[in-house]
Structure 1
Amino acid sequence: MLHETPLREHHRQEAQRLLGDRHAHEDSQRPGAATGSAPSELEPEYIPWGPPGSGGDQSCEVLATLGSVEIEYARLRRDCGRVDGSSRGTILVEGDDAVDFLDRMLSQKLAEMKPGQAATAFLVDRTGRIQSDLLLVCTGDGVLIDLDIHQVESTVTALEAFIFSEDVRLVDASRAWHRFGCHGPDAIEKFDGLEPLVVREVELGGVQVHVTRVDRIGGPGFDIFVPFEHAAAAWEGLECGTVGWYAYNMARIEGGTPLCNVDFGPGTLPHETGLVDERVSFNKGCYPGQEIVARMQHLGKPKQILRGFRMEGDALPVAGAQVFASGEGELGTPIGVVTSSCLSPMLGSASIGFAMMRSSASEPGTRVRIHDEGSQFDASIGPLQAVEDGKEPGS
């Protein structure tokens, strides 16, 4: 596989430990009872991430679950869990002009960024459309950029095209740095109350790693950059249970965190993502595409925008499901499309998700109908974030 996690064996070992714990619990609850043919092995489940490689083989997989989505989700809400970031890539930007160059290329104001600071930004093209969604971590050795693994090559190419006489070097460091996260209320104690977008070098399992706080699940969360060859030791040093994509996906939808290449993608305008306040500065110098982004901010509005929705029944529409105005049937004109959805444990298993909506129908409280398995069901439009600090915002 082109992009393989260095933690696959650790996933398998933890799955086996969980199976052993389950058998021990069952035996203690039912002494002398027949147990039948309980499984002797429990293999982690993986799902593809992104398109296949040039040879047709799957280029990247993410851990879906070790066997119990419910337990993994509970970790995120009750204590904390670790999430393997096998779908994340890294670009290292080095040189005396690295920060100044990035400030002139990206949507965020970075000119004064110093070691120990992090920022989020978009790389946009000359038409103002997103090319990649970035987390930048400034260390004493340069700037580490986190992004989707499938956009590393195109992002390096786009940035290198603007290097002329500057002292800047861009390196695909995805094989040098691995990524994982730690999320949940107890995670903040592991990193001594680290504030959002502050970077700290800490030791995990005897390994020096870079940590920054990025809250993605409606509660504390930390992104960890670890040298690839020492990822396993640092992973064990976290000393918490593992969480797969299925559980993490529910929590990040509840927390109002859209993902590039899932809820928006290359070609989307920044104002369509709902992330402009976090990713874009309107008090900085020019960058490619800046005029288009600024014009949208001051003179217009996007034709579509990402919003949250909540179903009024038990239906769970999947990504790609069409959204219609309330009162219109299937022959009506679609006004949106679902990008992500889940059953929210924090909201009593209500069906929630994100949909890219026509702006004229995106006001919170707007009633719509969403297509699911041949029928239409009522829903209401709302903000992206449905859960904050373990409860509904404002409750």
Structure 2
Amino acid sequence: MSGDGATFAGVDGAVCDDLGLVHIGNPMREQQLLDSGAAVAPLGDRSVVTVTGPDRLSWLDSLTSQALTRLLPGESTELLVLDPQGHVEHAASVVDDGETTWLITDAGRLEALVTWLTRMRFRLRVEVADRSGDTAVVGGTASAVADLASSAVWRDPWPEVSIGGWGYATGEGHPGAGRDWAEAIVDREELRRLADEAVAGRRRIAGRWAADALRIAAWRPRADSEADGMTLPHEVDWLRTAVHLSKGCYRGQETVAKVHNLGHPPRRLVALQLDGSDAVLPEPGAIVRREGEEVGRVTSVARHFEQGPIALALVKRSVPIDADLIVDAGDDTVAAVQEVVVPPDAGRTAAPPRLPRLSRRT
């Protein structure tokens, strides 16, 4: 074990891996503590990139899905890096302090994101730095992370619809409504202090399993889970917080506009309430079936402290919203009831007039 995992190995009951703290024996209780603000979660699966220089915000604006030129110091948002066909390649949480733009991204995508950003600098006055060696990310409610010695704090805008964004999921009754989630960027010394306080019993902490369960319950997409190389932002309701629909050009914008205004995304995100009568849970990537036919794949799965076994899945747009679904779980199957996150009629917000068909003269 190395890195963040070694930092928290001394905490009583801690289960760690190379990315960090997984859980401390009772993920359900950890979820409750996180949700109430009584604990914080070291997120070893999150990494930090910084962009400095006077051109940093306009440069990021030109490359990504978010409008950043006028981002105020301390304001939180998020961005997507899309491929030319509009598929999600990277996602990053964004906060700027007036001198540095801090990006929080999934650890598994860090190297590729840094490489791509560095390649795109050209002659602009920007510098890109991988800060995973000297910083870490700690999550929790805004009040829970407020006393940490941090370089910056990002407050999750989800599920509010940001300026320039568009929400496909229901606004009223959205399970993420009122979600209080923030991520503090701390140095390694502060992370060690956090571990020492946990060992001494002066600080309650939770593992990343607990944090992920709260995310799944809020229908919150994440690149490592919901972006499979073919994911369009529309399919997972990411236009809500990560896309500005009326900003300037960027890679993939044409697809974003066409699908939103004239078409429909080919897949849609659903939340699954899984049958909990057995102890079996499907794995991410598990096949979702309707009447024996494959109609999608599970992207995220967890046991929630209130809802029980839950999952997010990407299914074909054509799957009826009331269809009975079955999810493969090893040699077994698990029954699932879907909740609509992105409705089948998402998109086609523009209604161009139909031209009358010209009949052939006789």
TM-score calculated relative to the size of structure 1? 0.73
Q: CA deviation at 1:109?
A: 1.1
Q: 2:16 aligns with which of 46, 52, 56?
A: 46
The answer as to 2:306 corresponding to 1:346 is yes
C-alpha distance in structure 2 between counterparts of 1:208 and 1:261, whole Å: 25
The corresponding residue for 1:110 is 68
Alpha-carbon displacement from aligned partner over 1:95-125 (angstroms, at most 9, x marks no partner) = 1110000000110111111211121110112
Q: State the distance in 2 between where 1:121 and 1:86 align.
A: 21
Aligned partner of 1:4 in structure 2 is 3
Match for residue 337 of structure 2 among 362, 366, 380: 380
Deviation at 1:280, TM superposition (A): 0.7
| Cα shift at 1:258 | 2.8
Q: What SS does the corresponding residue of 1:209 show, helix, strand or coil?
A: strand
Tell me the distance in 2 between the aligned counterparts of 1:371 and 1:288: 36
Does residue 367 in structure 1 map to residue 309 in structure 2? Answer: no
- Hey, what does 1:128 align to over in structure 2? 86
Name which of 202, 205, 208 aligns with 1:245: 208
* Segment drifting more, 301-310 vs 236-245: 236-245
Answer yes or no: is 1:64 the counterpart of 2:64.
Answer: no
Distance apart, 1:344 and its partner CA = 2.8
Equivalent residue, structure 1, for 2:143? 188
Tell me which residue corresponds to 1:292: 255
Q: SS in structure 1 opposite 2:154?
A: strand
Conserved 8 A contact 2:194-2:203: no
2-structure distance, mates of 1:68, 1:224: 24
Task: Tell me the secondary structure at the aligned position of residue 60 of structure 2.
Answer: helix
Q: Deviations over 1:133-186 (max 9, x none)?
A: 111110132101110122222112222333222111111122232111124xxx
TM-score, length of structure 2 as denominator length: 0.79
- RMSD of equivalent CA atoms: 2.7
Offset from partner CA, 1:58-107 (integer Å, 9 cap, x none): xx423122223343233124442211121212111111110000000110
* Alpha-carbon distance change, 70 to 153 in structure 1, aligned in 2, over 3 angstroms: closer
| C-alpha distance 282-236 of structure 1, shift in aligned 2 (>3 A) | farther
The 3 A distance-change label for structure 1 pair 303 and 384 is: closer
Q: Is the 8 A contact 2:63 2:251 kept in 1?
A: yes
Query: How do residues 33-182 of structure 1 correspond to structure 2 at under 5 angstroms?
Result: 42=13, 44-47=14-17, 60-182=18-140
2:296·2:314 contact (CA, 8 Å) conserved in 1? yes
What is the CA-CA distance between 1:278 and the residue it aligns to?
Answer: 1.2
CA contact (8 A) 1:311 1:352 kept: yes
Structure 1 runs not aligned, ≥5 long = 16-41, 48-59, 192-202, 386-395
* CA shift for structure 1 position 235: 6.4
Task: Quote the sequence identity (%).
Answer: 24
Map 1:236-275 to 2 at 5 A: 240-275=203-238
Contact 1:226 1:234 in 2 (8 A): no
Question: 1:255 & 1:64 partners in 2: Cα distance?
Answer: 20
- CA 1:68–1:309 in 2, change beyond 3 Å: closer, same or farther? closer
Report if aligned partners of 2:50, 2:101 keep a CA contact under 8 Å in 1: yes
Find the aligned partners of 1:252 and 1:285 in 2 and give their Cα distance: 31
1:373 Cα offset (Å): 4.5
Higher relative contact order, chain-length normalized (CA < 8 Å, sep 6+): 2
Q: Is the alpha carbon distance of 1:229 and 1:312 closer, same or farther for their aligned partners in structure 2, counting shifts above 3 Å? A: closer
The residue matched to 2:133 in structure 1 has which SS?
Answer: coil
Distance 1:66 1:234 in 2: 15
- CA spacing shift, 1:123–1:190, aligned 2, 3 Å: closer
Aligned residues: 319
Q: Secondary structure at the match of 1:335?
A: strand
The offset of 1:357, in angstroms, is 0.4
Letter in 1 for 2:273: R
Alignment partner of 1:220 out of 157, 173, 180: 180
- What is the CA-CA distance between 1:46 and the residue it aligns to? 2.0
Distance change in 2, residues 1:208/1:310 (3 Å): closer
Q: What's 1:308 paired with?
A: 271
In the alignment, does 2:11 pair up with 1:14?
yes
Q: Give unpaired runs (5+ residues) of structure 2.
A: 159-174, 343-362
304-313 vs 164-173, greater mean Cα deviation: 304-313
The verdict on how the C-alpha distance between 1:241 and 1:263 changes in structure 2, with shifts beyond 3 A counting, is: same
Deviates more, 1:234-243 or 1:146-155: 234-243
